Structure 1
Amino acid sequence: MIRNILLVAGREFHQVVQLKSFWLTLLLIPAALALGPILGERLEDRDPMKVMMIDRAGGTARTALEQRFAVEHDREVLAALSRYVRRHGLEKADPQAPWAAHDRWYTPVDVAAFRAAGGVDAAIASIDRVKAEDTPAFEADPPRYAFVAPPASLAAAQGPQLQAAVDRALEADDSTTDHADLVVLVGSQYPADPTVRLWANERPDTDFVTSLQDTLTADLRQRLLTDGGMSAQAAAAVQAAAPAIAVTTPPPGGGGKEAMLVRSIVPLALAYILMMGLMLSGSWMLQGSIEERSKKLLESILACITPEELMYGKLLGALAIGLSMLAVWLGTGAVVAFATHGAIADLIRPALAPVTSPGAIATLIFFFIAGYIAISIVFVAIGAMADTMSEAQGFLMPVLLAILLPVTFLMQAIIAGNSGPMVQVLTWVPIWTPFAVLARLGMGIPTAELIGAGVVLTAFIALEVIFLGRLFRASLLAQGQKPGLKMLMERLRPTTE
């Protein structure tokens, strides 16, 4: 009996492996993992936005705005450098440097100290002396904005000519010196008329508008304070006064909600792989069953083996297909993840935490295999009832919708950190139990609930084997008979010898 089951399973596996769609599907995820970082880097726009600022009031607005963005960029570089140092444990490179402190919001004073020490180049030189050879190099992002001088025709334009000159600058090729992404005009009557015009070739970033408004507001207040009799130095001191905020942050992936999301990456991926594998192998299984009927092979097969051996062999073949896809996809993902340094590597360690203990591994294996068997039995029964692929699709679509829609909502709930009634219900309904348990491993699931769901799922599979086994056996040779509900119920009854 076992030999016959293995022969059928091997035939099913070999039949699917010969399909081009199997190999395209199998290689799709590895190709996406390999090409994703390359395409992401190529498609990322790292060029700074060009800003033309025209200050006809003869003030210091342009200089102040340039300094504002320069400080913000240095603060971002300092924060990124601090995360890099914390990630790789490189604080010993210079314990007194601002980037060696992680629990603070970097102030202009910190930025000034960072610049005085030589900036990012000096920091990297210090880090290179202590970092390991396999530690990736730090790469600072370029500034988001670059200030360029406006052409003379734009700087002196008035009225309708001003709008035309601005349009020419916004529409010019970005490789030319006359191109601008943003044009800012401070009028000659400023600050009596505090209106400042801003043109953009697309919706301007909120941070640019906010920084522009903050800078000009500080300039206005400086003027009001000095006009009221305060010295320029005192007014500047009042404007610069700000609290130093100490911010305590967890290590990468260590925050509450962030940690839960990171820990759910692998369990959710396994639930998704189970869903995708079942959809694909179910389609291939139905295609094979239809071909057996159309080519009159069933009679020859059943002359050598029993219907039960045929059913068990098909289930084992489907499971082998699913496990092979799982092994290739997870193996490729692990290789890409561990070969990648930086933020991705930081996510891998906490993401693997829920699935590294012996109990978690046993849970993953059991519910993945049990889920595959539970759903594959349904596909096997459909393949036995259908004579054509269109007829099989008619049976298959309601089943897939009944499975996929709740599972989709389940994954969305897990990502949102919701473990409410819907998640609890899906955990105890056998057809959705494997997906729910796999997806919930990152959030944590009580042992009693885990064992109970496993027992219910096992009992459900046993009932499936009994009843759908009867349906499979009764439908094998009933070719050309489209079963109605009454006939299906009769086929589910035990046969009398």
Structure 2
Amino acid sequence: MMNHILLVAAREFRQIAATRSFWVTLLILPLAFAIGPVASRFLDKSDTQRVMLIDRSGGTTAQAIAARIELDEQRRVLTQLSRFVEANRLDAADPAAPWARHDRWYSDADVAAFVAAGGVEGALAKIRAKGGEVPAFDAPDPLYSIVPVPAAVAAAPPERVGTALDPLLRPAEGSKEKALDYAVYIPADFGRSPEVKLWANGAPSSSFVTMVQGLLAQELKVRYLQMNGVAAPVAAASTRIAPAIAVVVPPRGSGRERVLIRSILPLACAYILLMSLILSGSWMLQGSVEERSNKLIETVLACVSPNELMYGKLIGTVGIGLSMVATWAVCGIVAAFATHGAIAEMIRPALEPVSSFGAIATILYFFVAGYIVVAMIFLVIGSVSDSMRDAQGYLTPVLMVIMIPVTVLVQAVLRGASGPAVELLTWIPIWTPFAVLARLGTGMPLWQVWTAGAITAAFIVVEVILLGRIFRASLLAGGGRPNLGALVGLMRRPA
């Protein structure tokens, strides 16, 4: 009997593996890993916004705005460099450097020390001096760039500045000149009057407006104090009076971030399980319908029993799905440990929390169990359908019943929700494998994992018995698609 089952499984596997759609689907993820980083370099469009500062009050205000923009840009670079150093374990190059101290919000003093030490180039020089292979570091594009003031704008009278800026904010159609995003006009009487004008090419960013407003408020305070007899150095020093807030953040990979990192792989498994089930189940379903419509099923049953055919098809379909998943998993591991870049930095920390034997065994068990639960339904649909049109009548509601709750479940887990709906899906056997996989990263109690596993195993046994009766009774039956009552009657028929 086992030889016949394996023979049917091998035939089912070869039949599906010979289709073009299987190979296209199998290679989608590897091609995405290979082409993604290269394509992003060519397709990535800089989001740097161009800012013009027109300061007719002496120039110090524009200098303060430009200095703040540069300081904030260096903070972004320092934060990105810190993540790069942590991901590649390069902290030993200079443990006291700002970029080697992670999990913190970098203050202005930290950024100033980073710039004084040579910025990115100085940090990378120290890292390379330690020897060893150092992957390339891609600094983030700046958010803003300061552009010079054209002569026409600089010479324009105050009431004509907006007119002079108009062709820069909205270049003529077909012009190769990049549009100006912001223009800040600081009039000559700034200090006596608080009015400042800002032109924007579209809806202005609230962060940009807030930053400019804060700096202008500081400048107004200095000028106000100077006009009231306060010495210029004292007035300037007053703007630097601020509370020293020590921002304490949890270590990287703890708190809410820990849950997200631990959930990446289980959630990916839940999605991959759903996707591969739909694909491999559809291929198996199409093959079963073709066998019935072409009257090949009689020939097959002359060689094997209905039970052997059922178990063989089930094993073959599971084998197809697992081969797809195994290929994608190997590509993911290679992308994580043999390459560098955003994909590797995302996958690598996600693998660490689920690298124990227990976590791997749990993922594999519920993955295979979920495959059997749903593949058995596809198998029975194929046995009762004389055409793909008949099969679609069963398949569409089945897919809706499976997909909608799973999609809601995954989104709830990503939001950190763990309400009654998530708990309920865990104990409904058809959704249990998806729910357990999705919840593994949230710290699911061990007793729930064991109980869910036992319930799933018991459900599979009952499912195979009941749906197996439908499968055996429908293989050679004709007369159109049976209704729900007829299917229930077949389930109650003794084997």
- TM-score scaled by structure 2? 0.92
Deviation at 1:224, TM superposition (A): 0.6
Query: Are residues 140 and 468 of structure 1, via their aligned partners in 2, closer, same or farther at CA, if it must alter by over 3 Å?
Result: closer
Kindly indicate whether the alpha-carbon contact (under 8 Å) linking 1:102 and 1:248 is maintained by their aligned counterparts in 2: no
Deviation at 1:186, TM superposition (A): 1.9
> What does the per-residue CA deviation read over 1:172-223, in whole Å, with 9 as the maximum and x for residues that have no partner?
3899788522222123443344222222223333332122111111110110
> What does the per-residue CA deviation read over 1:289-328, in whole Å, with 9 as the maximum and x for residues that have no partner?
1111111111111122111111111101111111111111
Q: Which residue of 2 aligns with 1:279?
A: 278
Deviation at 1:59, TM superposition (A): 4.5
Aligned residue type for 1:80: Q
Q: Which residue of 2 aligns with 1:9?
A: 9
Map residues 57-206 of structure 1 onto 2, 5 A cutoff. Answer: 57-102=57-102, 105-130=105-130, 132-158=131-157, 162-172=161-171, 180-206=180-206
Query: Are residues 196 and 24 of structure 1, via their aligned partners in 2, closer, same or farther at CA, if it must alter by over 3 Å?
Result: same
Query: Are residues 134 and 51 of structure 1, via their aligned partners in 2, closer, same or farther at CA, if it must alter by over 3 Å?
Result: same
Report the secondary structure of 1:240's partner residue.
coil
Query: Are residues 179 and 418 of structure 1, via their aligned partners in 2, closer, same or farther at CA, if it must alter by over 3 Å?
Result: closer
Q: Which residue of 2 aligns with 1:214?
A: 214
Aligned residue type for 1:219: E
Query: Which stretches in structure 2 are left out of the alignment for 5+ residues?
Result: none
Q: Which residue of 2 aligns with 1:455?
A: 454
- For 1:86 and 1:16, locate their aligned partners in 2 and report how far apart those are by CA, in whole Å: 44
Kindly indicate whether the alpha-carbon contact (under 8 Å) linking 1:150 and 1:178 is maintained by their aligned counterparts in 2: no
Kindly indicate whether the alpha-carbon contact (under 8 Å) linking 2:103 and 2:249 is maintained by their aligned counterparts in 1: yes
Kindly indicate whether the alpha-carbon contact (under 8 Å) linking 1:151 and 1:178 is maintained by their aligned counterparts in 2: no
Report the secondary structure of 2:239's partner residue.
helix
Report the secondary structure of 2:269's partner residue.
helix
Query: Are residues 259 and 308 of structure 1, via their aligned partners in 2, closer, same or farther at CA, if it must alter by over 3 Å?
Result: same
Deviation at 1:104, TM superposition (A): 5.9
Query: Are residues 297 and 370 of structure 1, via their aligned partners in 2, closer, same or farther at CA, if it must alter by over 3 Å?
Result: same
Deviation at 1:371, TM superposition (A): 1.2
Q: Which residue of 1 aligns with 2:238?
A: 238
Deviation at 1:433, TM superposition (A): 0.8
Deviation at 1:342, TM superposition (A): 5.6
Query: Which stretches in structure 1 are left out of the alignment for 5+ residues?
Result: none
Q: Which residue of 2 aligns with 1:385?
A: 384
> What does the per-residue CA deviation read over 1:128-150, in whole Å, with 9 as the maximum and x for residues that have no partner?
212x4223244433533222222
> What does the per-residue CA deviation read over 1:407-465, in whole Å, with 9 as the maximum and x for residues that have no partner?
11110111112222112111111100111111111122222222211121111111111
Deviation at 1:103, TM superposition (A): 6.9
Report the secondary structure of 1:199's partner residue.
strand
Q: Which residue of 1 aligns with 2:362?
A: 363
Report the secondary structure of 1:194's partner residue.
coil
Kindly indicate whether the alpha-carbon contact (under 8 Å) linking 2:335 and 2:344 is maintained by their aligned counterparts in 1: no
Map residues 28-39 of structure 1 onto 2, 5 A cutoff. Answer: 28-39=28-39
Map residues 287-436 of structure 1 onto 2, 5 A cutoff. Answer: 287-341=286-340, 344-436=343-435
Report the secondary structure of 2:373's partner residue.
helix
> What does the per-residue CA deviation read over 1:330-382, in whole Å, with 9 as the maximum and x for residues that have no partner?
11111112123366545445422343222222222221111111111111111
Kindly indicate whether the alpha-carbon contact (under 8 Å) linking 1:16 and 1:284 is maintained by their aligned counterparts in 2: yes
Taking only the aligned residue pairs, the percentage that are identical comes to 52
Aligned residue type for 1:319: V
- For 2:109 and 2:368, locate their aligned partners in 1 and report how far apart those are by CA, in whole Å: 59
- For 1:487 and 1:345, locate their aligned partners in 2 and report how far apart those are by CA, in whole Å: 53
Kindly indicate whether the alpha-carbon contact (under 8 Å) linking 2:466 and 2:491 is maintained by their aligned counterparts in 1: yes
- For 1:432 and 1:101, locate their aligned partners in 2 and report how far apart those are by CA, in whole Å: 43
Map residues 463-478 of structure 1 onto 2, 5 A cutoff. Answer: 463-478=462-477
Report the number of matched residues.
494
Report the secondary structure of 1:481's partner residue.
coil
> What does the per-residue CA deviation read over 1:68-118, in whole Å, with 9 as the maximum and x for residues that have no partner?
212222333333344444444545544554444447654444444444444
Map residues 223-234 of structure 1 onto 2, 5 A cutoff. Answer: 223-234=223-234
Report the secondary structure of 2:468's partner residue.
helix
- For 2:351 and 2:425, locate their aligned partners in 1 and report how far apart those are by CA, in whole Å: 24
Deviation larger for 88-97 or 141-150: 88-97
Query: Are residues 489 and 166 of structure 1, via their aligned partners in 2, closer, same or farther at CA, if it must alter by over 3 Å?
Result: same
Kindly indicate whether the alpha-carbon contact (under 8 Å) linking 1:104 and 1:245 is maintained by their aligned counterparts in 2: no
Deviation larger for 107-116 or 120-129: 107-116
- For 1:333 and 1:177, locate their aligned partners in 2 and report how far apart those are by CA, in whole Å: 42
Deviation larger for 317-326 or 474-483: 474-483
Kindly indicate whether the alpha-carbon contact (under 8 Å) linking 1:105 and 1:245 is maintained by their aligned counterparts in 2: no
- For 2:458 and 2:110, locate their aligned partners in 1 and report how far apart those are by CA, in whole Å: 64
Kindly indicate whether the alpha-carbon contact (under 8 Å) linking 1:104 and 1:248 is maintained by their aligned counterparts in 2: yes
Query: Are residues 382 and 344 of structure 1, via their aligned partners in 2, closer, same or farther at CA, if it must alter by over 3 Å?
Result: closer
Kindly indicate whether the alpha-carbon contact (under 8 Å) linking 2:335 and 2:343 is maintained by their aligned counterparts in 1: no
Aligned residue type for 1:2: M
Report the secondary structure of 1:264's partner residue.
helix
Aligned residue type for 1:272: Y
Report the secondary structure of 2:442's partner residue.
coil
Deviation larger for 259-268 or 146-155: 146-155
Aligned residue type for 2:217: T
Deviation at 1:236, TM superposition (A): 1.1
Query: Are residues 374 and 90 of structure 1, via their aligned partners in 2, closer, same or farther at CA, if it must alter by over 3 Å?
Result: closer
Kindly indicate whether the alpha-carbon contact (under 8 Å) linking 1:107 and 1:244 is maintained by their aligned counterparts in 2: no
Kindly indicate whether the alpha-carbon contact (under 8 Å) linking 2:128 and 2:134 is maintained by their aligned counterparts in 1: no
Query: Are residues 210 and 390 of structure 1, via their aligned partners in 2, closer, same or farther at CA, if it must alter by over 3 Å?
Result: same
Aligned residue type for 2:207: D
- For 2:143 and 2:28, locate their aligned partners in 1 and report how far apart those are by CA, in whole Å: 35
- For 1:361 and 1:103, locate their aligned partners in 2 and report how far apart those are by CA, in whole Å: 29
